[in-house]
Amino acid sequence: MATIRIENVSKRFGDTVALAGVSLEIDSGEICFLLGPSGCGKTTLLRAVAGFVDPDEGRIHIGDSEITRMPAHERGTAMMFQSYALWPHLSVEKNVAFGLEERKVPRVEIKTRVDEVLAIMRLAKHAERRIHELSGGQQQRVALARALVVQPRCLLLDEPLSNLDSRLRVEMRAEIRRLCKEFELTAIYVSHDQKEALAIGDRVVVMDGGRIRQEGTPLEVYRQPRSRFVAEFLGETNLIEGTVDGTGISTGLGRFEIAGTRLRSGPVLLSIRPEAWRLGAAELVNSYPAKITETVYLGEMARYRVALEAGKEIIVYEMNPRPRSVSAVHATVEPVDVVPILEP
């Protein structure tokens, strides 16, 4: 295991600023997700750590070593690409052994290490198969086995699940997290998939415009977004404009009670996640007359479009939904789930 320390790293491609003074420390053994829209800088940052991009400014350390200008093959990292980059003319065993052969590892040790990682990845019986004979999920495991067999200090993953169907993606999320923890790897994982980040990551870093907008545990970043961008990027949310009024917020819908520290007087934007609302009878706090205007059943969940009496439309999720005989309800939310956004 090794700590990754990124200090004030900047990178330009012509007139485009890919990274603008990014600083980030990833603890030893931590799985850190870089999230953000296309062009936000997440892949450039990953490639800078890998050694495929030279920063214009700043420094990168892995453990006690500065690696900013070190050749990629000397950094002790392993990278797993979106395309897997497997050799189609080689067997599974030969694909996994390739990195060890390039490092001139003794033949006996190569055999031992390849057999061990194939067993862990449940690929031992496919060792002699060619890549085209494998399913998408098996190919993904071969690529992961090839990265793990070199015993890297850090594992770098560039959207490795994007080519899998939805069922396999869910399976491989758990598999990747289990293997990272089992091999005690520090990992940086680039993705645009918010659910993937929340399911696998120890820490989530949301980027935009070459800068870090927010970082924290998945729970912190999802439940306490500090900006409109983060609130909207990490799933669906309801945004309500208001004004700070003592311990609450005055809005066009009525007054919202909030939990936590007092805010300075002035305008504020509230973020309320769809799953935070309850639909039912009127309650004492943060409860507003409403009417369900649209229902979409999604199996374990229903997604409602709800018109509040004051004129605002909100989205509400309900787990394990039951058929509703009436559309007139009250929409209620707990003060702890009313989140004031404090940054633009």
Residue 246 pLDDT exceeds 90: no
CA angle 51, 53, 59 (to 5 degrees): 70
- At 266, the pLDDT band (50, 70, 90 cuts) reads confident
Residue 100 pLDDT exceeds 90: no
239's tokens = 């945004």
Fold held by 4-229: Rossmann fold (3.40.50)
- What does the pLDDT look like over 153-166, one tens digit per residue? 899 999 888 777 77
Is 237-341 a CATH 3.40.1190.10 domain? no
Q: In the β-sheet with 186-191, what is the strand arrangement from edge to edge? A: 77-80, 154-158, 186-191, 31-35, 203-208, 211-216
203's tokens = 């820490």
The answer to whether the beta carbons of residues 332 and 254 sit under 8 Å apart is: no
Q: Which residue has the higher pLDDT, 20 or 178?
A: 20
Residue found by looking up tokens 């949301």 in the block: 206
- Residue 51 host element (H or E): none
Mean of the per-residue pLDDT values of the chain: 90
Kindly give the residue spans of alpha helices, DSSP state H, lying in 150-193.
166-182
Domain boundaries defined on the chain: 4-229, 237-341
Residue 343 pLDDT exceeds 90: no
Closest CA relative to residue 29, chosen from 143, 184, 255, 247 = 184
Three-state SS at 291: strand
The answer to whether the beta carbons of residues 235 and 225 sit under 8 Å apart is: no
- What does the pLDDT look like over 302-323, one tens digit per residue? 999 999 998 899 999 999 988 8
